[in-house]
Amino acid sequence: MTKMITCIEDLRLLAKRRVPRMFYDYADSGSWTESTYRANSRDFEAIKLRQRVAVDMTDRSLATTLVGHDATMPVAVAPVGMLGMQHADGEILAARAAAKAGVPFTLSTMSNCSIEDVARHSDRPFWFQIYVMRDRDFSDRLIDRAKAAGCSALVLTLDLQILGQRHKDIRNGLSTPPKPTLANLLNLASKPRWCWNMARTPRRSFGNIAGHVEGVADMGSLSSWTASQFDPCLSWDDVKRFQDRWQGKLILKGILDPEDADNAARTGAEAIIVSNHGGRQLDGAPSSISALPAIVDVVGDSIEVLMDGGIRSGQDIIKAIALGAKGILLGRSITYGLGAMGEAGVLVALDILRKELDTTMALCGLRDIKDVDARILASAPLQPEFARR
């Protein structure tokens, strides 16, 4: 019997039991020593909130807008690669749950369900995430497909010119579907629910790539393809090229430095996402939440500032908003819910965070999320050296 779910950690533990090791570790790990991965969550703890009493706590509202889209709370679902390996048809299920919850969903280029699959199964426009690749024709076709599917924003990831080394993926021999080694077969035998669901879906490859790039059908071929395709020569000129092709709302993901934030604001993009790729790229980089204040100081109101990384509670969300983020993107919290309970688990995760955010806002003496600012903080997080200069 499933234990009572009271917090995101409960979903994480359940997902760890139900998802094959290589896919659980893919989502819940960082690069090299994982110091930045751990800091993303740990640094929220240093931020303390001001409890207020004898204030009116009635008629509260979490409603806001994110990049021009109405949202029931300042939350969007982040792009997560291979979400369909956490649970069969994972991207479709997560998109449907996000639509029901009234928050934006972002589909990764490296998804198992294609752009067209998700569009057919969701009644709400979603965001599409893309990388700068050497094959400009492939990128152009992806953008055109996202347009045709009615995607409402393009999220351009800038921090993946080369891949950070993730030790767990190497040790697990990450592949999709899993290679039939003895270790994998034994692990899969302990995950009957996952195997049953996966056997019933045809979406076990890379829906945005298979059939659109010659020779890419499994994780091995994808690895060699991505190693050759992610463009180490990426420059700000490439952003302009994507803007010209997309002709819609553009969000730049992977900003961690104030100088880069200033450059991003000058592009005319609608928003930036303060992010260190969940601690999966440069190990030793600052946490997203510690980098946020200096970036907000630099860009001001010239561009909408979102952030991701380390958010596991409604308290974390309100701390990010208080430090200047307009909204946050949820990656692992959603992944845990999906791996634990499918679409229902994503809804549970979003409901947990909504209730925690609402209660925390009230106990801080406010009734509208739009009024949240640094007044609710009793202390600020430690700042990285570059942010103090």
Backbone angles phi, psi at 272, to 5 degrees: -125, 155
Predicted pLDDT at 229: 79
Q: Are 37 and 278 contacting, i.e. CB atoms less than 8 angstroms apart?
A: yes
Does a cis peptide bond (omega within 30 degrees of 0) precede residue 192? no
Residue 389 has a CB neighbour count (10 Å cut-off) of 8
Q: Is residue 293 part of a domain?
A: yes
Residue 375 amino acid letter: R
Residue 141 in marked binding region = no
Predicted pLDDT at 216: 64
Task: Give the position of tokens 């950070």.
Answer: 164
Q: How far apart are CA 7 and CA 387, in angstroms?
A: 32
Cβ partners under 8 Å of residue 325, min gap 6: 74, 274, 292, 296, 305, 306, 307
Predicted pLDDT at 389: 35
Predicted pLDDT at 173: 84
Is residue 277 part of the annotated active site? The answer reads: yes
The active-site residue out of 121, 167, 212, 277 is 277
Q: Is residue 328 part of a domain?
A: yes
Q: How far apart are CA 140 and CA 135, in angstroms?
A: 9
Predicted pLDDT at 116: 97
Q: How many domains, the chain?
A: 1
Q: How far apart are CA 96 and CA 89, in angstroms?
A: 11
pTM over 0.85: yes
Sheet holding 106-107, edge to edge: 75-77, 327-330, 304-308, 271-274, 250-255, 153-157, 127-131, 106-107
Q: Is residue 3 part of a domain?
A: no
Q: How far apart are CA 343 and CA 5, in angstroms?
A: 15
Sign of the CA dihedral running 12, 14, 15, 16: positive
Sign of the CA dihedral running 176, 159, 43, 323: negative
Q: How far apart are CA 77 and CA 75, in angstroms?
A: 7
Predicted pLDDT at 262: 98
Predicted pLDDT at 1: 44
Predicted pLDDT at 133: 85
Q: How far apart are CA 80 and CA 64, in angstroms?
A: 24
Closest alpha carbon to 226 in 133, 115, 112, 106: 133
Q: Is residue 2 part of a domain?
A: no
Cβ partners under 8 Å of residue 247, min gap 6: none
List the domain range (segments joined by +) for residue 110.
8-388
Give me the tens of pLDDT residue by residue for the chain, a chain 389 residues long. 457 999 999 999 999 999 999 999 999 999 999 999 999 999 999 999 999 999 999 999 999 999 999 999 999 999 999 999 999 999 999 999 999 999 999 999 999 999 999 999 988 999 999 998 888 899 999 999 999 999 999 999 999 888 889 999 888 888 767 777 888 889 999 999 999 999 999 998 888 987 777 766 555 566 567 667 777 888 999 999 999 999 999 999 999 999 999 999 999 999 999 999 999 999 999 999 999 999 999 999 999 999 999 999 999 999 999 999 999 999 999 999 999 999 999 999 999 999 999 999 999 999 999 999 999 999 655 454 434 33
Q: Is residue 147 part of a domain?
A: yes
Predicted pLDDT at 230: 77
Q: How far apart are CA 205 and CA 208, in angstroms?
A: 9
CA 209 vs CA 72, 164, 318: distances in Å: 33, 21, 37
Residue 342 in marked binding region = no
Residue 331 in marked binding region = yes
For residue 142, the domain's CATH number is 3.20.20.70
Residue 332 in marked binding region = yes
